[in-house]
Structure formats: structure tokens, C-alpha cells
Amino acid sequence: MLRTVLLIGAFLLGLLPDASAAVFPLKTSDNGRFLTDQKGEPFLVVGDTAWSLLVQLDEDDIDCYLEDRQKRGFNSIIVNLIEHKFSTNAPKTLAGLAPFTAAGGFSTPNPAYFDFAHKVVEIANQRGIVVWLFPAYLGYGGGDQGFFREMMASGKDSLRSYGRFVGKQFRDLPNIVWVMGGDFTPKQEDQWVVAEMAEGIQAEDVTHLVTGHGSPKDSAVVAFGEQKWLSVNSVYSYEKTLFRPVQAEYMRRPVRPFVLIESTYEGEHNSTPDQIRRQAYWAMLGGACGQFFGNNPMWHFDGPGLYPVKATWKESLDGTGSRDMTRLRDLFVGLPWHRLEPENNHEVVTDGYGEGIATALTARTACLECRKRRYRLGCTP
């Protein structure tokens, strides 16, 4: 009943977001707290992890996956542009296309492979889905899961050239957010492997937003610092009290929109349904502009993974976590979610908010007096 009253009140106040399709590419809001489409409409990131999509599935199964995610309200997916380990025939596609004409040679991209990748991103665009695209996943700890070693061996010119190639290849598609790094924060003296590629991309593509993905516990800003290419921050943590790193990034200055880009996946780390729900709601009530859900085996689509599986990826499409993320999406898009501010000082909810993993976060829109002060200061509410 309370939610119904809130929805009616929001409608009468003109607070509900436009129900029409988002117009890409995404951009940051004026106040730096969330993402919007080209019409200025707030874009709530409802994400899924499809890391091995390009290389593990044929076109029919790719469309099957995208159709299902679209129907459930997912509007963003994480995808590896090239895959090092987590597919049956890595780094080749299921049809045998290799990303490079020379193994590991970033200076020798195979046009046929990247044309196929372009087609897949275009299909996602037709379904209103943003592809958060890793041009080259580094790999956990810089090891054999990713391309960090090959990138180090390739050298600066090769990586910048590859960055320019993929930037030019995908700049015509509006539904992309570039993601640099991948499960690893290089040492300061090795940060060039990310910077050269990112700057190469931006030499050809100045349209799309860019974020980062470092080692677990590192936000994008912590991993890659104040790099000029970094426009969106991210939280990546397996901490049981995930709200703590979320709150830390909300307080970080300068302000950037941030997403929960990765935490515990369904079907891994002995996770439970309440844990998957909890981390998603903590993100949304802690100031994030969206979050990504993950499922094993869906992220690798029955290819090589890291944990035992109990179902196929197709069976997992209708899993508990997927249904819970749809409910989360339905709740927040019916409210002025982009105006919510974490209520960390407990002025409204003064008791019963718990502690540890039982912590219940609350958020509220700014009071009228706060809005007046912001207008006087020239801020954006």
C-alpha cells in the first residue's frame, strides 16, 4: 500500500522517469552522481555479466541470451572483447575466428573477428542493452586468465595502435561503455599497459564513457588514479559488509557516478540468495547509479569456469538471482531513484538499522531546505 502511494505521489509530482527507450550513448549527469541518456533521462544500470558471450556462443544463442535479458529488464552487460581462458576454444570464437592474425599480437587484429564483435554489439543495441566492453581483460593477478603478460610484451606502440583500431571499429555504435583493466591493478610502473590502450581508444572515440576494473577491493579510482580517460567510477569487492566500500566511493571527491561492477556471483563462493539481494540493494541505497549481477555458469556460458556448476547457462536464465534483479529494477525505476541520497547519519531511521551483514541502509531525497541551499550555491539537485 505504501509503495502504491509513493508511486502515485511521484507521478503527480512529475518525478517518474520517461518510459520510452533510452537514447544512447550514455553521459554523466550534471551533478556527477548518475548516468543519463541523450535526452537527459536518468539511466539506472541494471547489469548482467556475460564475459564470454562473443566467443562461447553462436549467433542464435547470443540472441537467445539477449532476448531473455531484455525481457527481464537488464539494460547493461559486461563482455570481453577478446577472451584469454574462459571459453572452449579461447581466444577464438565458436566458429573459429581468431582476434589476431599472430597469436597474442595486438598489432595484428583480424578484421573478420572484430566485424563479428561489432555485429553482436549492434544486436544488443537493437534490444536497448549497453555493452560494457573490455578491450583486453588483464586477468586476475596479472596471470594466465587474461592478457596482461602479452600486453607487457607488446609494448606501448602496439597497445596504442590496438586501442585506436577498436576505438575506430566501435565508435559508430552508441551502446558502449569501455572498461579498462580487468581483475588486476598493475604496479605504478606498469600502468602504461592500460593508459596506452585507453588513450588509443579515445584518440578515435571521444563519445563513449570509460570506467575501470582493478583488483578486488580496488575501486576504479583507486586502481587507476586520476587518469584523464576515467569518467565513471566502480566498486569491486567481495567484502561481506559491502556497504562500506560503497559508502566510501559515494564520499570520494571529485564526484563521479559509480556502479557496483562486481561482487559475489550466484553459484560461487557458497553464496546465498539473500546475499545476492543484499549486495544489490546496498549498492542502490548507498549511492551507486546501478549494479551488475553475476551467475555461474552464465558468465562463461558453460565454458571453462572457476567453480562447479549445478545447471546449464540456459537453465540459469530463470534463476532466483535473475528474478530478484528484475524485482529490484521494477522497484527503483518506479521511484525518483536518481535523487536518493544515502541516509548515513540516521536522522530519519534512528533505530533498528542493524550492524554487520544485517545492516539495513536507507536513502532519501534531499529536504526542501537542502534544495534551496543548493540552488543558492549554484549546485544541481
Residues 251, 235: Cα–Cα separation, whole Å: 13
Average pLDDT over residues 149-169: 97
pLDDT tens column, 255-303: 999 999 999 999 999 999 999 999 999 999 999 999 999 999 999 999 9
Predicted pLDDT at 370: 54
- pTM to 2 decimal places: 0.92
CA-to-CA distance for 160 and 203, rounded, in angstroms?
A: 9
Q: How far apart are CA 57 and CA 65, in angstroms?
A: 9
Cβ of 343: how many Cβ atoms within 10 Å?
15
Q: Is pLDDT of 129 > 70?
A: yes
Share the mean pLDDT of the chain. 92
Give yes or no for a contact between 93 and 58, defined as CB atoms under 8 angstroms apart: no
pLDDT (tens digit, 9 = 90+) per residue, 103-114?
Answer: 878 999 999 999
pLDDT band at 178 (very low <50, low <70, confident <90, very high): very high
Question: What is the Cα–Cα distance from 308 to 301, expressed in whole angstroms?
Answer: 13
Whether 13 has a pLDDT exceeding 70, the answer reads: no
**Does pLDDT of 12 surpass 60?**
no
More confident residue, 95 or 8: 95
CB count, 10 Å around CB of 342?
18
Cell of 72: 527481464
Q: Can you say how many angstroms the Cα of residue 25 is from the centroid of all Cα atoms in its chain?
A: 15
Question: Which region holds residue 133: left if phi is over 0, alpha if psi is between -120 and 50, else beta?
Answer: beta
Say which residue the cell 572457476 belongs to. 306
pLDDT at residue 377, as a whole number: 41
Residue 290 lies in a domain: yes
Residue 313 has a pLDDT of: 98
**Host domain of residue 296:** 2-340
Would you say residue 151 lies in a domain? yes
Structural domain contains residue 68: yes
User: Grid coordinates in use for 134?
Assistant: 573490455
CATH of the domain at 146: 3.20.20.80
CB 197 within 8 A of CB 227: no
β-pair partners for 259: 234
In a domain? residue 59: yes
**Is residue 229 included in any domain, yes or no?**
yes
What's the total number of domains in the chain? Answer: 1
Q: What is the mean pLDDT of residues 107-134?
A: 98
> Which of 69-73, 201-205, 343-347 bottoms out in mean pLDDT, i.e. has the lowest?
343-347
Q: Is residue 353 part of a domain?
A: no
Is 166 among the domain residues?
yes
Q: Which of 131, 69, 51 is nearest to 301 (CA)?
A: 51
Average pLDDT over residues 196-214: 98
Q: Do 99 and 107 contact (CB within 8 A), yes or no?
A: no
Amino acid 367: pLDDT: 63
Give percent of the chain with pLDDT exceeding 90. 86
Residues in the chain: 381
